Every structure is written in structure tokens, then in C-alpha cells.
Amino acid sequence: MGDSEFSQDRENMVRYQLSRRGIHDARVIEAMRNLPRHLFVPERLRDMAYQDRPLDIGQGQTISQPYMVALMTQLLELTPEDRVLEVGAGSGYQSAILGYLASEVYTIERIPELADQARKRLEEAAIPNVTVLVGDGTLGHESAAPYDAILVTAAAPSIPSALKQQLAQDGRLVCPVGERGEQILVRIRRKGEEFPIERHTPCMFVPLIGAEGWGN
């Protein structure tokens, strides 16, 4: 499939999977319309890149469904000045969307092979402002904190306290929280030392594994 066919696929993805389901943030729509999701999936799955589902990216991990990427991004309410932390780089696609919409992004991945691959793909997609780190993202990345927005793209038993502490005032944190097989997407917002919580939609993510996540 050529690039023009992929752009038609992206148009359809935006119209049928995002706009019709309530994604209304014009900047999120623009990012998803422009960024080449097919570059972030294994080559043999490229023709499926814009389908309404998560896809296997190797190492037992997945690239999230387009709608879930859009919803989580919309909940972060990003401005072009924001500094962002992502936990779970995986394919690097969500990181690319964050890089497109914010000023500076740090993304942490625990599996080194995925981190290497994400780095290459971000370069290929010409996204210059994302730094891919290897490590346990449940501890955050203290040296670049505080962050205006934090996104966790793996399922946590509860919101890691280190991440709350690295959130700026009025900063937003979005994370799937619950059991290993089923979670609710939640958003908290820092107000002083209070973190009021909102519960959004049921979801299913791969487990967050680490000091403040699940054991191996």
C-alpha cells in the first residue's frame, strides 16, 4: 500500500473511529490525521494499522487501539508549551502523538528492544522532541520533573505515588487502574497536595510491571 492509501485510511479512522465516538479536540484529531501510525507497527501488519483494534508489537506487548490513544490524549488537555512524561513507550506511536502536541516528551520503556525500536521509528516519523528512556517507569523520571501531563499506557494496581509527586500544579495524569485483566481509565489533576480523581471508561491494557506496579 502506498502513502496516499494510508492517508485515506487515516481519514476514515478519524471519521468513523474518533469523531463519531466523541473525540472533539481539534489538535488531537490533527495529530492523528497527520502521523503515520503504519510506521509504528510490524511490517507484516501495516495494512491493519488503521483498524479499530490494538495490534501485537512483539515481546507480548501491544500498540493501543486508535480510539484509546485519542481518548487518553484528549484527557491530557495538552498545550504546545507542556512537558510530558509517558510510561510504556511500546511502539512509540503514542509518544509521537504526544511529541506532536507538546513541547518536550520523556517516555520510559522497560523492554530495551522495544525502546530501541521506538527510538528508530520516532526518527523515521521526524518527531525530534521525544526522549526514549529504558527503566521502571513506575518510579517516573525525577530529573526532568515536574510534568504538566503524565500518561501511563499500561495497567496499574493503583496510581504510582512517584508519578503523583512528579506532577506540576494543575497537571493531569491519565492511567488505567484496576485488575490485571480489566481496568478503568482514570484522570487525576494536581491541586496542591490534593489529587481529585475522575473515572472515565472501562479498558484493558497489558500490565504495568515494576516497583509500584505488578510483579513479573
Nearer to ligand SAH, 74 or 153 (CB): 153
Q: Provide φ and ψ at 17, rounded to 5°.
A: -95, -30
Q: Going by DSSP bridges, is the β-strand pair 183-189/55-58 parallel, antiparallel, or unpaired? A: unpaired
Q: Which of 70, 111, 130, 177 binds ligand SAH (CB under 6 A)?
A: 111
Question: Which residues are within 8 A (CB) of 193 and not within 5 positions of it... i.e. 6 or more apart?
Answer: none
**CA dist., res. 53 & res. 18, Å (int):** 13
Q: Which of 17, 74, 117, 138 binds ligand SAH (CB under 6 A)?
A: 138
**CA dist., res. 188 & res. 9, Å (int):** 33
Catalytic residue check, 64: yes
From 29-37, 103-111, 170-178, 183-191, span contacting ligand SAH (CB under 6 A): 103-111
Establish if 73 lies at the interface with ligand SAH (CB under 6 A): no
Torsion sign, CA atoms 119, 120, 121, 122: positive
Sheet with 130-134, strands from edge to edge, namely: 130-134, 104-109, 83-87, 147-152, 167-178, 183-189, 197-203
* Shortest distance in whole angstroms from residue 194 CB to ligand SAH: 26
Nearer to ligand SAH, 54 or 171 (CB): 54
Contact status, residue 97 vs residue 129, Cβ threshold 8 Å: no
Catalytic residue (one of 64, 103, 143, 158): 64
Number of H helices, E strands in the chain: 6, 9
Q: Which of 37, 38, 83, 110 binds ligand SAH (CB under 6 A)?
A: 110
Facing residues of 130 across strands?
A: 105
CA atoms within 13 A on the CB side of 210: 26
Q: Which of 68, 84, 105, 114 binds ligand SAH (CB under 6 A)?
A: 114
Nearer to ligand SAH, 14 or 87 (CB): 87
Establish if 148 lies at the interface with ligand SAH (CB under 6 A): no
Nearer to ligand SAH, 99 or 169 (CB): 99
Residues marked active site are found at 64
Residues that bind ligand SAH (CB under 6 A): 61-64, 87-88, 90-91, 93-94, 108-111, 114, 136-138, 153-154, 206, 208-210, 213
